[in-house]
Amino acid sequence: MSALRPFREIQLQWLSQLVQDQELSPRTIQVAAYIVLEHYNHRLAKAWPSFDRISKALGITKKTVQRAISELKGKWFEITHGNGLRHSTEYVPSKQSHAAAQRLREDQEERKRDNIVSLRPAKGGQSCPERETNPSAEEGQDCPPTKAKKQNKEIRAGRSGSRVSELRLRFVPTSICFARDWSDRLEEAGLPPLGRLLPEERHDDKRGYWLPDLNPAPRGSDQLAAQIAAVKRLAQQLSAHSPQSARGGQ
């Protein structure tokens, strides 16, 4: 296996394996998930919430938090205990759990590649049975578009008749970790966080933002630079048509 990826790239796989650990109590799983989802800093690669903060957020006692941390230590987190005076206890996902989550992601990526079927075989012909089609006079397709395609088309066409650039956008719910990752990347690029740069919208009963991709590309990559440029262009165009929305409704 290659060197360990940044934790943000395998966070979902880490959480998937965490919730399937039958040796942990449900409360311990809740504590671990809270630490990672609410307090993990991807830039510093650690989290440091106090026992008091965890207990208040989850509605449990500090003793329950302490028992959960004891269960998690070593297997799921490498823990450096603080003294409580400006030195909080620090949590870093253990190398063991990090490596296991990375293997899971690599297996998923490999299966995805294996499932890709070429539309054109090497020796002519076609890979699917022939069937008669009745193309319409207009461009496009005869069957109704799916809800996701329709939503993307509306976003690309613009809101209230305005023209937003031809971007392929993905909806990123505010509740998932990728929204915080996007805010981190935008701030590192000298831009406001999501809540101030783009309007929060509702889609499939969730609130979130339309962005170039579900999660931002690795730091320093050409792909991330292109994503940031696309977000800036989208924000500028939305601001030109609706300054109130571009400021997040402020």
Q: With contact defined as beta carbons under 8 Å apart, do 71 and 78 qualify? A: no
For residue 175, give the amino acid letter. Answer: S
Q: 7-96 belongs to which CATH class?
A: mainly alpha
Parse the chain into domains and list their residue ranges. 7-96, 147-246
- Is the pTM for the entire model greater than 0.85? no
Percent helix, strand and coil across the chain, each to the nearest 5: 45, 10, 45
Measured at the CA of 38, the angle between CA 35 and CA 100, to 5 degrees, comes to 50
pLDDT digits (tens, 9 = 90+) for 101-132: 999 999 888 888 766 554 454 555 554 444 44
Question: Which range, 68-77, 134-143, 166-175, 199-208, is most confident?
Answer: 68-77
pLDDT at 11: 94
Give buried/exposed letters for 100-129 (b at 16+ CB in 10 A, else e): ebbebbeeeeeeeeeeeeeeeeeeeeeeee
The mean pLDDT of the chain is 79
